[in-house]
Structure 1
Amino acid sequence: MLMPETGILIANRFGVIVQFLTTEGPVSFFPLWRGPKEFQNHRVLTFALVYTNHYVMVQLEGEYPMPLIAALWIRNKAPSATE
């Protein structure tokens, strides 16, 4: 499996927002078929690329800007997920 494209699988399976921080630029993934009304608590998982070939989970604190939304999500999302 390729990272960060795996983010779409994680987001859909666990109903979370997934962020990848890479040297190519940060990207966000949301669940494709379920919208924000279906999730009581919005959980965000953030993974950072280290040593050019490993991803580690990081905990971001405070306020920070949301990375751009992945084009894969934009092209394939359900209408209910756009809310």
Structure 2
Amino acid sequence: MGEDKWPIVRQTLIQELDTEFGMYSSIFGIAEANEIRYALQVTSGGPVGEDKRMIFPNMAYIISIAYKVVFMTLAVSGCNTFFPLRGSHNPPALHKRMAVAFVNKNHFIGVVLRDGHPMPLTAHMWPYKRRDEAKTWVDPYFA
């Protein structure tokens, strides 16, 4: 989707968060889950303040589940790969991979990675917080 589709993306993430709020609040804590929901709610079409910016790494988990993607974040402070915390995976050939880079200390941009690119380390909470049915998401990448 293009940059103009951000309201749809935010609404999809809110729906995912609301659907599994119990899971997210047990992972992030109730206060953090509510903060994420607040940050996702935007009513105007203009620029948003810092309180409405994407909160990583926690929103990355929600993105990976909502869109059933392997989601990678690239930043000077560190890079991570986020696999969905729930749900079984598609065959590896059908996996969708998305990557964003954090630039200028305030903005994420989409990045297109070439086939065979190296993968950042798996986000630290994934092995401990994922549901059993999601454990095979990593198999194609670490076999």
Q: Give the structure-2-normalised TM-score.
A: 0.53
Identical-pair percentage: 28
Q: Which runs of 5+ in 2 are unaligned?
A: 1-35, 37-54, 137-143
Greater relative contact order (CA < 8 Å, ≥ 6 in sequence): 1
**CA positional deviation for 1:31:** 0.8
Rg (Cα) greater in structure = 2
**CA positional deviation for 1:35:** 2.5
Structure with the higher helix share, 1 or 2: 2
Structure with the higher strand share, 1 or 2: 1
**CA positional deviation for 1:33:** 1.1
Residue 60 (structure 1) aligns with: 113
Q: Give the structure-1-normalised TM-score.
A: 0.87
1:75, 1:24 → 2: CA distance?
23
The match for 1:81 among 118, 126, 134 is: 134
**CA positional deviation for 1:3:** 1.9
Deviations 1:11-62 (A, max 9, x none): 01111010000111110111111232xx241000000011011000110113
| Runs of 4+ displaced beyond 3 Å | none
**CA positional deviation for 1:71:** 1.3
Equivalent position SS for 1:66:
coil
> What count of residue pairs does the alignment treat as equivalent?
81
Equivalent position SS for 1:57:
strand
